């Protein structure tokens, strides 16, 4: 039945999208319909320019000179400002005679208040460029600071994703932003996405527009040598879920409607053959290097491999998107009770990578039926023997494979392991509902009852 539907969809797609040129159109005189198709028929891949290499940070001062930068807003956090990544950056700026001011008060897992503090700092200066040195928290904060610096009259919620905010498209010209990631996880250096915890609803949301994307990402694995074990571990599971979710997201040509204008095509477009290449690469890298990189801080090959994989997965999610693990993770992180994992300070926190992987087994058990071949392929790349596995078991096979990784990396035993009880499930479901943009990318539609069942299934994992 599904195959038959795919054939009809394909024929419809060919009808609306075929080349009009007689040399390539095989039915003679195809016309491109003027009617906007109900399903999309195209996808596009956008990405920051990426430069990868050990020690490549030394070039950032020259990049800023090449841009004609006269005063750079450098953003980082209060921990990194004392560590070698920031020192390497500031050395390069000084050596190349670039003026800068440092903002080092980025909050780990930022909130709307911490974004507003950073925006205030930017507005008080006179900057012609932005430079983020840090993990996702720093890069996301820097994107927001650049946006509101360039549109000083905007209200904060104007650009925040609907339904929390107004989801206004970015039409002002932003200043050039360079990103230097120091964790191996978010891929934020390649995406037009900026995530924060909206305190009023205790759930994460964000700002999403291609204009936020850094113009250049310097991927320097040297920075990852100082990553604490837990940060390497949780950020690694962020890559893990980015790869699995973008690989299994609803296919781009089953998501709809097609936009009336290509400029309106969303950043998150569903799985597609190009994002799939990045996802497969990441899954292979995770199999090879994930555990090594977490448990051996000086294993430069493993840490470099993970650093590259994070960027690769960023290209994948930046265009394909993520779905249920991330949609559910936002309230899981936002409603944290008193869990403190270590390596993230004293305040309660469920770091992003941990919040996404806790439901991963339950999510992929649920989505397995949407495309058993892809779920089995992902499990096989991650090391499972799928030779005698039935299609009907694809979701369970991938879930078991994920659990093996979680066990090896000593991840808490599901939602109960980070302090949640069954009675918290309705609040977690309510917190996930505003993530409609992500939930819509799930390969299977889901009701509130389905989300509850996935959360129930995630209370314990082992």
Ligand X SMILES: NC(=O)c1ccc[n+]([C@@H]2O[C@H](COP(=O)([O-])OP(=O)(O)OC[C@H]3O[C@@H](n4cnc5c(N)ncnc54)[C@H](O)[C@@H]3O)[C@@H](O)[C@H]2O)c1
Residues lying near ligand X in the complex (CB under 6 A) are found at: 77, 79-80, 83, 85, 108-110, 134-138, 140, 182-183, 185-188, 191, 193-195, 204, 223-224, 226-228, 231, 235, 238, 344, 352-353
* Contact partner, 212, from Fe ion, ligand X, none, Cβ < 5-8 Å per class: none
Which residue, 112 or 238, has its beta carbon nearer to Fe ion? 238
CB 18 to ligand X: min, Å:
35
What phi, psi does 355 have (nearest 5°)?
A: -65, -30
- Residue owning tokens 């299609």: 391
Residue 83: contacted member of ligand X, Fe ion, none (CB under 5 to 8 Å, by partner type): ligand X
In the complex, least distance from residue 453 CB atom to Fe ion, rounded to whole angstroms: 23
Q: At what angle do helices 394-408 and 360-367 cross, to 10 degrees?
A: 170
CB of 196 to ligand X, least distance (A): 7
Binding partner at 443 among ligand X, Fe ion, none, C-beta below 5 to 8 Å by kind: none
- Which one of Fe ion, ligand X, none is in contact with 195 (Cβ closer than 5 to 8 A by kind)? ligand X
Closest approach of ligand X to the CB of residue 170, in Å? 15
Q: Kindly tell me which of 135 and 414 has the beta carbon lying closer to ligand X.
A: 135
Tokens of 42: 């195209």
Of 354 and 379, which has the nearer Cβ to ligand X?
354
Determine the distance from the C-alpha atom of residue 259 to the mean position of all C-alpha atoms in its chain, rounded to a whole number: 23
Angle at 357 between CA 298 and CA 138, to 5 degrees: 60
Least Å from the CB of residue 356 to Fe ion? 6
Specify the residue for token string 């934020």.
Answer: 188
Q: What is d(CA 162, CA 207) in angstroms, rounded to the nearest whole number?
A: 9
Q: Which residues make Cβ contacts (< 8 Å) with residue 206, sequence separation at least 6?
A: 140, 160, 161, 193, 194, 195, 196
242 or 374: CB nearest ligand X: 242
Q: How far apart are CA 224 and CA 174, in angstroms?
A: 29
CB-closest chain residue to Fe ion: 238
CB nearer Fe ion, residue 175 or residue 307: 307
Tokens 């596995």 identify what position? Answer: 389
Residue 188: name its binding partner from Fe ion, ligand X, none (Cβ under 5 to 8 Å by kind). ligand X
279 binds, among Fe ion, ligand X, none (CB under 5 to 8 A by kind): none
Interhelix angle 229-248/273-295, nearest 10 degrees: 160
Query: What whole-number distance in Å separates Cα of residue 203 and Cα of residue 198?
Result: 6
- The helix (H) or strand (E) run that includes residue 196 is strand 193-198
β-sheet bridge partners, residue 41: none
- Among positions 221-240, residues that touch Fe ion (CB under 5 A) are 238
The Cβ-side half-sphere exposure at 256, using a 13 Å CA radius, reads 10
For the chain, how far is it from start to end, CA to CA, in angstroms?
35
Residue (238 or 377) nearer to Fe ion, CB: 238
d(CA 236, CA 228): 12
Task: Check if the beta carbon of residue 310 is closer than 8 Å to that of residue 239.
Answer: yes
Q: In angstroms, give the least distance from the CB of 36 to ligand X.
A: 29
| Smallest distance from Fe ion to CB 313, Å | 9
In the complex, least distance from residue 223 CB atom to ligand X, rounded to whole angstroms: 5
When CB distances are held under 5 to 8 angstroms depending on the partner's kind, the choice from ligand X, Fe ion, none that residue 231 binds is ligand X
Residue entry with tokens 């995406």: 191
Q: What share of the chain is helix, strand, coil (3-state, %, to 5)?
A: 50, 10, 35
Query: What DSSP state is assigned to residue 342?
Result: S
Report the nearest approach of ligand X to the CB of residue 183 (Å): 3
Q: In the complex, what is the shortest distance from the CB of residue 344 to ligand X, in angstroms, rounded to a whole number?
A: 6
Q: Which does 108 bind (CB under 5 to 8 A by kind): Fe ion, ligand X, none?
A: ligand X
User: Residue 85: which of Fe ion, ligand X, none does it interact with, CB under 5 to 8 A by kind?
Assistant: ligand X
Site for Fe ion in 280-339 (CB under 5 A): none
Count residues binding Fe ion (CB under 5 A): 1
Q: Is residue 189 within the footprint of Fe ion (CB under 5 A)?
A: no
Of 210 and 384, the one with the shorter C-beta distance to ligand X is: 210
Phi, psi for residue 403 in degrees, rounded to 5: -60, -35
131 binds, among Fe ion, ligand X, none (CB under 5 to 8 A by kind): none
Residues that bind Fe ion (CB under 5 A): 238
């Amino acid at each position: 039945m599904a195959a038959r539907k795919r054939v009809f969809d394909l024929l419809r797609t060919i009808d609306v999208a075929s080349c009009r040129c007689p040399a390539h159109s095989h039915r003679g005189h195809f016309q491109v319909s003027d009617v906007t198709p109900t399903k999309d028929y195209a996808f596009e891949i956008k990405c920051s320019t990426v430069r990868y290499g050990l020690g490549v940070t030394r070039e950032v001062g020259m990049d800023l000179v090449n841009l004609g930068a006269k005063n750079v807003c450098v953003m980082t956090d209060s921990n990194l400002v004392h560590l070698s990544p920031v020192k390497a950056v500031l050395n390069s700026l000084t050596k190349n005679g670039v003026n800068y001011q440092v903002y080092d008060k980025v909050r780990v897992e930022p909130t709307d208040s911490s974004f507003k503090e950073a925006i205030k700092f930017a507005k008080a200066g006179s900057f012609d460029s932005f430079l983020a040195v840090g993990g996702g928290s720093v890069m996301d904060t820097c994107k927001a600071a650049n946006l509101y610096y360039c549109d000083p009259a905007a209200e904060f919620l104007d650009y925040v994703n609907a339904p929390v905010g107004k989801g206004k498209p970015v039409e002002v010209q932003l200043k050039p932003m360079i990103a230097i990631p120091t964790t191996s996880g978010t891929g934020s250096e390649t995406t037009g996405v900026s995530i924060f915890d909206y305190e009023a609803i205790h759930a994460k949301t964000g700002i999403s527009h291609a204009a936020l994307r850094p113009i250049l990402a310097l991927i320097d694995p040297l920075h990852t040598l100082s990553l604490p074990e837990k940060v390497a571990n949780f950020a690694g599971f962020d890559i893990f879920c980015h790869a699995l979710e973008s690989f299994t997201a609803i296919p781009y040509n089953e998501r709809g409607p097609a936009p009336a204008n290509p400029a309106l095509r969303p950043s998150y477009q569903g799985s597609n053959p190009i994002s799939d290449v990045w996802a497969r690469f990441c899954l292979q890298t995770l199999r090879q290097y994930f555990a090594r990189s977490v448990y051996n801080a000086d294993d430069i090959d493993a840490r470099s491999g993970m650093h590259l994989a994070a960027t690769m997965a960023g290209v994948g999610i930046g265009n394909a998107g993520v779905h249920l693990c991330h949609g559910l993770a936002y309230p899981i992180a936002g409603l944290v009770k008193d869990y403190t994992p270590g390596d993230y300070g004293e305040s309660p926190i469920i770091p992003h990578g941990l919040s996404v992987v806790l439901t991963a087994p339950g999510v992929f058990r649920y989505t397995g039926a949407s495309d058993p071949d892809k779920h089995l392929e992902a499990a096989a790349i991650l090391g499972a023997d799928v030779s005698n596995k039935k299609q009907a078991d694809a979701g369970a096979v991938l879930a078991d494979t994920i659990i093996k990784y979680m066990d090896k990396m000593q991840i808490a035993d599901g939602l109960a392991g980070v302090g949640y009880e069954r009675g918290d499930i309705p609040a977690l479901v309510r917190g996930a509902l505003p993530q409609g943009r992500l939930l819509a990318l799930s390969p299977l539609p889901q009701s509130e009852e389905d989300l509850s069942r996935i959360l129930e299934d995630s209370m314990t994992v082992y």
